[in-house]
Amino acid sequence: MTASPDGRFALDLFAGNAPYTTVLLYDLEKGKRSAQLDQAHSLFWQGNRFLFERFSGQQAMLSSKSF
């Protein structure tokens, strides 16, 4: 697991057949899952934004989710 810079969120990665992986984001303060990103690959946190790649067919798109 990797935590956000403020320690509030953590992410976990479940591997499938690459690049079809799932990233799960957990809110550690609330004790529940806050997001499930299918067909995605985690990149890094930038402040309160989580940046990731999402795959569609043979294309990859850079995306972010703010918290």
C-alpha 8 chain-centroid distance:
14
Q: Give the Cα separation of 42 and 37 in Å (integer).
A: 9
| pLDDT tens-digit series, residues 17-43 | 666 788 888 999 999 999 888 888 888
* Residue 12 pLDDT exceeds 70: yes
Q: What is the pLDDT of residue 19?
A: 61
Percent of the chain predicted with pLDDT > 90: 13
Is a pLDDT exceeding 70 seen at residue 45? yes
Give me the residues paired with residue 10 across strands: 3, 26
**What's the mean per-residue pLDDT of the chain?**
85
Q: Which domains does the chain have, with CATH numbers?
A: 2-66 (2.40.10)
Q: Name the pLDDT band for 14 (thresholds 50, 70, 90).
A: confident
